[in-house]
Structure 1
Amino acid sequence: MTTRVASLVLALFLLSAPTLLAQPPDVFERVEHGYAVSESGVKIHYATLGSGPLVVMIHGFPDFWYSWRHQMAALSESFQVVAIDQRGYNLSDKPKGVEQYDMRLLVADVAAVIRHLGRDKATIVGHDWGGMVAWQFAMQVPAMTERLIVLNLPHPRGLVRELQTNPEQIKNSAYARAFQDGSPTDAAVFFGQAMTPQTLSGWVRDPEARKRYIDAFGRSDFTAMLNYYKANYPKASGSDLAPLPDLPKVKAPVLMFHGLDDRALHANGLSGTWDWLEQDLTLVTVPGAGHFVQQDAADLVTSTMKWWLTMRRR
């Protein structure tokens, strides 16, 4: 009798094992794709998942919409999550000329996506250059900014202050000078290497994800990537860097993440952020995580985002 029961249990387990062991489909296979057209006529590609209040996610350098795969999977249970390819990247248009990457146009691209989706506001999420776009969006288009989440990009005032006074930040920003002065064909422009899909994706740890990055960067415009720096990044440092003009305070509540092992952006730039906001700031610093904190500490970032956004829906 015992043998029969054991055999039955084993048989039931084997029958159910494929279901128990099956992994949910990768976000790459689950999203729907679309395009919005900016006021400047540039087509912006986006990937969308879920339904509910709108969350727009903006990647940085070098990256594409798939950077947000961990967060999209979890947030899509309660929100419509839309991750864009910024102009110059992957499936979005790649206009020629440095002036085509001016911050005002990058902000307008995000606004175009929100309007294209029939919404009048969204939670804006940005990392690195996407973080700078997110800060500027919140300041320039406050009526469309419901909440703001920024990852590893200090407020513009904090970044400029550190570029004026912090020798470590000045040293860490040497790569930006190389990007401003160089071109993709320079043999050592990208941290001592040429810009290729392989070198640009070298930071991606997951082998399967890295394949997707190589494909996306193969469709991207490397000159456009550098144009972000040529058009928007401060060209001076120390005493030669002029102070920023007056900036409006951010009106939306803000959640910030900062991986403390970031070798490009010093955490000292976070100090004083609360002085430039009208509402509350939630700041999460992450020891052991680097610049790409949304991937290095995916579980922490995702769960905190979900908690913070859900709490504010009540």
Structure 2
Amino acid sequence: MAVIVNTSISSSSSSSSSIGSGIVSISYPDSLKIHVLSFFWGLWSLFKKLIMYGLFNNVTKSKCDSPPSCLVDTSLGQHNYVKLKGVKLHYVEAGNKDKPVLLLLHGFPDCWISWRYQIPALALHYRVIALDLKGFGDSDKPESRKCYRLDILMSEIAELISSLGVSNVSIIGHDLGALLGWFMVHLYQDLVNKFVAISCPHPNIYWSSLPNTSSFNTSWIHYSQLPHLPELDALRDDLSIINHCYKHLSSDEASKPYLDAYKYSFSRKEDWTGPINYYRNLPFWRVNVGDSEPSVRIPCLLIVGNHDSGVKLESIVKSTEYLEKFAVKVVEGVGHFPHQECPNDVNKALINFFVGNKTKLAQKTPSGGLVFKMFDAVSSTMKYGNQVLDIVQKKTNGLTSKAFYVGESSTT
């Protein structure tokens, strides 16, 4: 396995003042509500654990001392490291170094291996960097909550871009990675050429649109503010949280090595502290944007599965209000991991968006009113297509500046 360690580098040209002016904290009552509910969730959790099975029973211990082969395999790319102001980040790199950089940011709970189906396809056209976010995988895992403050996270990603020897990149993010990507395109728009958000609404919509049917719902966000308990819960019952998140891997024997890789990556309490610290910080911040004009000028593609229990389609639609040029692709028959569950269709959409220039982007129209068009079939059934359009029309009533396109993959 090839290892490259870079020395510390200077910050990006974007200054910390731009971070301060671009981010606003939530109101004091909203912040207080999170902390109060966190306290009551903590009491209930302690009571349930003591009564039902004891506080520390059924906590999983690591079953192996070495990582599964797929985590260290070099067939997908070269394993590199970069050190930024004392924080070591691990990433897998593939493709020609002379080509534009495409930065891949995984979700929660995940690591670089999330992009195993995308790296080979995208590396034909880009220099692909599949990052282990700080706190995940083989990157450093500082335990302090303050290490995951939003301004620090944004500065580190900007520094990473600079360390690659380029002035800008395109970003694909999934879940938590897309949430960070949303902040990047607002705060460091000069560093990003194009942006793809998979299974993640805009940060100003994200926290208020979590469905109750999702495992990581509003109640979990409140619970995650507590110290230690969320980490201990995650380790219970042979990491059942991993089985629940990756149901699409559990039913496929060929995917079992990847399920084992996730369980290895999250087998210790410290493997969860960093990832959960993101959720101990990010809910308290929003992007400071104007009310009249879209604030993101670069082309954006939003991808979501129509069976995603954690993301409402209407929250994806509402997210387009912040974008000047955009397309939305709804992938039929998949859940929260469309890039893993239906990689061929997602890869085709990504290649079309980045390389083929076949993706029709909605843009500002000179006349008033929304213009609804399709750049693929909304669904294989008219019933679902009508439901999508009905949501669009209801949730965007009164907007007059943009056209809207909904894309849906064909079945595989």
TM-score range normalised by the length of the shorter chain: 0.7 to 0.9
- How far is the alpha carbon of 1:210 from its aligned partner? 1.6
Are residues 1:152 and 2:199 paired? yes
**Unpaired runs of 5+ in structure 2?**
1-69, 250-254, 359-412
CA gap of 1:151–1:122, structure 2 versus 1, over 3 A, is same
What are the residue-to-residue correspondences of 1:1-314 with 2, within 5 Å?
28-30=73-75, 31-38=77-84, 40-51=85-96, 52-160=99-207, 162=209, 172-181=217-226, 183-184=228-229, 189-190=233-234, 194=236, 199-200=241-242, 203-204=245-246, 205=249, 206-218=255-267, 221-234=271-284, 245-246=288-289, 249-278=295-324, 280-312=325-357
- The alpha carbon displacement at 1:251 in A equals 2.1
* Alpha-carbon distance change, 186 to 117 in structure 1, aligned in 2, over 3 angstroms: closer
How far did 1:138 drift? 0.7
Task: Give the deviation of 1:177 after TM superposition.
Answer: 2.1
Deviation at 1:301, TM superposition (A): 0.8
Q: What are the superposed Cα offsets for residues 17-60 of structure 1, whole Å, 9 maximum, x if unpaired?
A: xxxxxxxx99943210112223x421111101112211000011
Unpaired runs of at least 5, structure 1: 1-24, 236-242
Cα distance in 1, alignment partners of residues 228 and 111 from structure 2: 20
Could you tell me whether the CA contact under 8 Å between 1:172 and 1:263 is conserved in 2? Answer: no
Is the CA contact (8 Å cut-off) linking 2:212 and 2:218 kept in structure 1?
A: no
1:312 CA displacement: 4.5
Alpha-carbon distance between aligned partners in 2 of 1:281 and 1:262, rounded to the nearest angstrom: 21
Contact 1:50/1:81 (<8 A) preserved: yes
1:185, distance to aligned residue in structure 2 (A): 6.3
> CA contact under 8 A between 2:209 and 2:311: conserved in structure 1?
no
Number of matched pairs? 275
Alignment check: 8 A CA contact 1:260 1:290 kept: yes
* C-alpha contact (below 8 Å) 1:27/1:72 kept by paired residues: no
How far residue 207 of structure 1 moved from its aligned partner, in angstroms, is 0.7
Separation in structure 1 between the aligned mates of residue 203 and residue 143 of structure 2, nearest angstrom? 26
SS in 1 for 2:166: coil
Kindly report the root-mean-square deviation, in angstroms, between the aligned alpha carbons of the 2 structures. Answer: 3.0
Which TM-score applies when normalising by structure 2? 0.60
Taking structure 1 as the reference length, what is the TM-score of the superposition? 0.78
